[in-house]
Amino acid sequence: QSFKLLGFLDVKSVPCARESVLYGSVGSLVVGLGHFLATSRVRRSCDFAVGGFICTMLGYWFYCRYNLAQQRIRQRMLREGMRNKILFEGTSLDPERKQTGNERSDS
């Protein structure tokens, strides 16, 4: 059973969605309760709590998606490097292979 937030954001399948909602709710609680303890104004504290939820959720969403994109780039580079290692292993194009004087004169 999938859980859709606002009817379109599938929290189970979208990367970073679950963590963003959880951190947003904690941020909402902290900001709302902190404002209430400081001012004792209930309605204004609820407004701050909603704002805290939105800011915390969006902030963590962008942070998480940025890290996910970096991780995917590193995985792609590693995959290409492994494929190139397999392709060029043992050939004259292998960068780890020590070249002797005879092989240098050929190229």
In angstroms and rounded to an integer, the radius of gyration of the C-alpha atoms of the chain is 26
Average pLDDT over all residues of the chain: 84
Which tops the pLDDT comparison, 71 or 7? Answer: 71
Q: Quickly count: other Cβ atoms within 10 Å of residue 56's Cβ.
A: 22
User: For 1-41, what is each residue's pLDDT tens digit?
Assistant: 666 666 666 777 778 888 998 999 999 999 999 999 999 99
